[in-house]
Amino acid sequence: MSEPAQRHLILILARSFSSRLATPVFVVDAGGNVIYFNEAAERLLGQRFVEGHGMSPDEYGKLFQPSDDEGNLLPVAETPLGIAFTHRETAHGKLTLRSADGVLRPIAVTAFPLLAHTEELVGAIAIFWERPT
Amino acid sequence: MRLRFWGCRGSIAAPGPETMRYGGNTSCIEVRLDDGTLIVLDAGTGARALGHALAGETAEPIHLLLTHLHVDHIEGLGAFEPIWRRETELHLWGPASPVVSLDERVATYFSPPLFPLHLSEVPARCTFDDAPVNGRRIGSAMVRSDQIMHQGATVGYRIEADGRVLTYLTDHEPALGMDMDEVPTEWISGFGLAAGADVLIHDCQYTPQEYATRFGFGHSSSEHVAVFARRAEVGRVVLFHHDPMHTDAELEAIRDDVLVRWDVEPERCELAAEGAELQV
C-alpha cells in the first residue's frame, strides 16, 4: 500500500511548540538527525535552520564542536542531546559550542527523548541557553 | 466500497427542525466493502439506527473503528443492537494508550453510573485492538491509522479497498500552530493518511470567524479544510462533524465557503448528511 511521507505527530507537535518559544530549541529524529531548530537557536548556533536541516550527529558535531569547560571536545553521544536519543534518557549538562560563525558560546542544555504512545523513540529535543561568561 | 452516513453531527446530538436536512445524530458511518465486509466508523448516537438496520443481518464480524473515546463517538455503543446478541462478533479498534487498554477506556463510559451495565456484561463476543499503524487487512481492505491533532489519543483512518481510497479524519485540527499553506506536507497532521484519497471525510466544524475564538478546541474551519484538501490532492471532500449549533442553512454556507477557497467543481465538496449514501 502506498505510504505518503509524514512526520510522526509527536514531532509535528514538537516543531510547532518549539517554533513559538523564545528559548533555543533543537529537535532531532530517532537517528539524531536535525529536523528542526527555532529562531532563538539560530541566533546561538550562527546558522539558519534551512542551512542546517537534515544534518547528521556527525555533521553537527564537527560543525559546533561541543566541548567541556576544560576545552576537551565531546562526542555528540556524550552531550545531553546525544544521551537523549542514544540512551533514551533525560540529561542536563554544561558545555561550550563553537557557533557556525565562529563564536564560542558556553551553554547549558536539557535534553529528553521523545517517546510515542507505543513507546518507540521518534526523536529527541534539546532546550538550551547561553551561560554568562 | 459504499458508505452510508448514520450520524455526522459533532460534540452532542442536535435533533430539531433546523437540523433536519443533515441530521442531528453524532458520528457513525457504515462502510461496505465490495466483498461484503462491514466496517463501522465510530459509534456516536447514529449507531442506534445502524444497529437496528443490521438486526436481520448475519454478516460477521463487525469491525468498529473508533477514532477516539470522546463521548460523542462512543455513546451509541450501548444502543447498537448487535452488541446485545450472543452470536455477534464485534471487533473494536481504537487509539493505543501506553497506560490503559482500549476495553478499559471504553468501559469508562460503558459502565455504571454512566451506563446501567458494564461492558464486560454484553453478550456479543467483543475483541479489542490498537488501531493498526502499519496497516492491517480487514476483509478486502488494507486499513491504516495514524495519530492526528486533537485532544487526547486520537487517530484517523485510511481504508484502501477495491482500488479506491477513503480517509476519515473527524475531530482534527491540523492548522493548530501551523500555516498549512507554508509548511512542507510532511509536517501536516493527517497528510499521510489523506494524500491522494478518492474521498476524504474531514472535520469542518467552524467558520473562520468562529475558529478565531475556538483555537485549540481540536476542530477545523472551512478555511483549513480547503487548504488541507488542496495540499493532500484529494478527489472529493465530505464535510463532517457539524457543529451542534449550526442550522442546515449555516452548514450550506460553510460548504460554499470551502468551495470558494478550494476553487474546485461543486461536486467535489459536499456536506455529510444523515441517511445519505456515497460510492467511493
B275 in contact with A at a CB cutoff of 8 Å? no
Q: Check A20 against B177: CB less than 8 A apart.
A: yes
pLDDT at B250: 98
| Mutation site, B145, B155, B178, interface A, largest A CB count within 10 A | B178
| Cβ neighbours, 10 Å, residue B213 | 8
pLDDT at A16: 87
Q: From the CA of B46, how many Å to the nearest CA of chain A?
A: 29
B133 in contact with A at a CB cutoff of 8 Å? yes
The closest of B108, B105, B144 to B128, measured between CA atoms, is B105
- Which one is predicted more confidently, A17 or B166? B166
CA dist B257 and B252 (Å) reads 9
B142 in contact with A at a CB cutoff of 8 Å? yes
Phi, psi (5° rounding) for residue B275?
Answer: 95, -15
pLDDT at A90: 97
Q: Check A119 against B153: CB less than 8 A apart.
A: no
Q: Check B133 against A5: CB less than 8 A apart.
A: no
A118 in contact with B at a CB cutoff of 8 Å? yes
Residue A1 has pLDDT above 70, yes or no: no
Which residues of chain A does B94 touch, with a Cβ-Cβ cutoff of 8 Å?
none
In the structure, what pLDDT confidence band is assigned to residue A11 with cuts at 50, 70 and 90?
very high
pLDDT at B59: 58
Closest partner residue to A1 among B98, B160, B187, by Cβ?
B160
Half-sphere exposure at residue A93, Cβ-oriented, CA atoms within 13 angstroms: 23
Q: Check B177 against A9: CB less than 8 A apart.
A: no
State pTM to two decimals.
Answer: 0.89
DSSP B165: E
Residue B140 C-alpha cell reads as: 478486502
Whose cell is 436536512? That residue is B21
User: Do the beta carbons of residue A96 and residue A85 sit within 8 Å?
Assistant: no
A129 in contact with B at a CB cutoff of 8 Å? no
| Cβ neighbours, 10 Å, residue B217 | 17
Phi, psi (5° rounding) for residue B3?
Answer: -115, 150
Residue B272: burial class (beta carbons within 10 Å; 0-12, 13-18, 19+): buried
Looking at the DSSP bridge assignments, the partners of residue B157 are B145, B168
Residue B188 C-alpha cell reads as: 501536516
DSSP B147: E
Q: Check A9 against B148: CB less than 8 A apart.
A: yes
- SS3 assignment, position B260: helix
Closest partner residue to B96 among A10, A16, A118, by Cβ?
A118
Closest partner residue to A4 among B149, B178, B191, by Cβ?
B191
User: Do the beta carbons of residue B261 and residue B226 sit within 8 Å?
Assistant: yes
Residue B101 C-alpha cell reads as: 487498554
A8 in contact with B at a CB cutoff of 8 Å? yes
Per-residue model confidence as pLDDT tens digits over B125-149: 999 999 999 999 999 999 999 999 9
CA dist B94 and B109 (Å) reads 15
Give the contacts of B190 (CB within 8 A, at least 6 positions apart): A6, B146, B148, B149, B156, B167, B169, B172, B174, B228, B232
Q: Is ipTM over 0.85? A: no
Q: Which amino acid is at A133?
A: T
> E strand or H helix at B99, and its extent?
none
The closest of B200, B133, B132 to B167, measured between CA atoms, is B200
In the structure, what pLDDT confidence band is assigned to residue A109 with cuts at 50, 70 and 90?
very high
The closest of A4, A47, A13 to A122, measured between CA atoms, is A13
Residue A117 has pLDDT above 70, yes or no: no
Residues of chain B falling short of pLDDT 50: none
Closest partner residue to A16 among B130, B178, B193, by Cβ?
B178
